[in-house]
Structure 1
Amino acid sequence: MAARRRRMLFPHRPRLPPQRRHLLAGLAAAFTVTLLFIVLILLPLPPSSPPMRHETHTTSTPPHDPPPAHCAAMSASLGEFGDLMLSMLPRDLAFTAFVPSPESFRRVLKLQPNDSAAEGKAGGAYAVVSRVLGFSAVPRRLRSADVPPRERVRLLDSVSGLKMHAWRDDDADGALVVNGVRSECVDVVRGETVVHVMAGVLMDAEFQRSFPPEFDD
């Protein structure tokens, strides 16, 4: 009797056929998707952030006056001793040469035109030029723009070990000042070599003592 009474209190519910259960499940899923779509449309969108910009900081150098007229001719000839100096460098390797101007060869080193041709490779002029090359050549390409302005920096040592310090004077047409010697022309390209023509001679103190007392005349 007790079992029969429990069956009467909880009557057995008839099960839905499988096709109807699938239909109801599909309708419920469709209703849920539709409701979610409506909610997403009605929600306020966050303010869009502006596209990221890659900031580029550029520094501009003040315009310079055109280089002196004789600097344009330096690409063809650096003078007798300047050309002799460059001929001693390997043509297929990168170098920077701080070549004395023709006047500096004459005034500082007391070399006169045709001295090298008259004496040959065994003469004093050839020996002096080859010695100066050791002080003046750096085994890398170094343009004037590679040297910072108004800040004395240490460059590579020359091929003979002379320590070089340089800075760029943007107030004087971008002239270079190397170990206190100012350039006359910069960035003369001869093959793989960058040439800066100097109003003086780069050398160490010992070699400098070989030219007294007329060194400053």
Structure 2
Amino acid sequence: MLEQSNDGARTPKTAAADSVFQNGSRSAQELACITEDSLLEEYNMLMSALHVSVSKHLFTERFEVVWANDFYYAMTGYTREEYERLFENCCGMYFQNDPEEYAKLSAKVMKAFEAGEPGYECLLHMRQKGDSFTWIHVVGKFTNELIDGMPVIYSTFTNVDDVVQIERERSIAYDNIPGFIARYRVGEHGLSLLYGNDRFAEFSAPSVRPRCNDCCKAT
């Protein structure tokens, strides 16, 4: 099964094969770890190239990071080492200066978990290094996996600044159009009001004025 060059010399490929298989020098468990590490590295590169943050967290109040790809840290503006040192590698510490945003995330997570849903979604205004901000769309998935008795959550963060900007511009445009503008969602139990422009709000009772998306209210 080992390959040789035409002159009978061993090629690098055969040398690598020998190091793995000769005399059973590596166990099946070691080979599995090598394969897993290679796949994880490729996955990290792929998700980072797509500008998608992927992370694995303990389901606790601190939301500790078990593993995260490079882009998870890049989105914050901190290096992996800085994040681990300054924030103890957990979301709770990272959002310590923005408790309202973290409370919003926590509420979404708990509501979905208590309702027995498979995961959750949330839009957050995240502070970055240097006190700049970015909008991120958070999608989480509950799992049956346990680490030291604690449940594990998988999560993705994606930058949605462009989407937020478009929504803001559309909101401004709607408010400057004469007449009523309203947007509804068609759901299983009927229509739900998502947005109404200022003229719609003036005509309607204040109680029915829909709250615009959080992204439209932030400055």
Q: TM-score range by the shorter chain?
A: under 0.3
Identify the structure with the greater helix proportion. 2
Higher RCO structure, 1 or 2 (CA under 8 Å, sep 6+): 1
What's the TM-score, normalizing by structure 1? 0.25
Identify the structure with the greater strand proportion. 2
Q: Which has the larger radius of gyration?
A: 1
What's the TM-score, normalizing by structure 2? 0.24
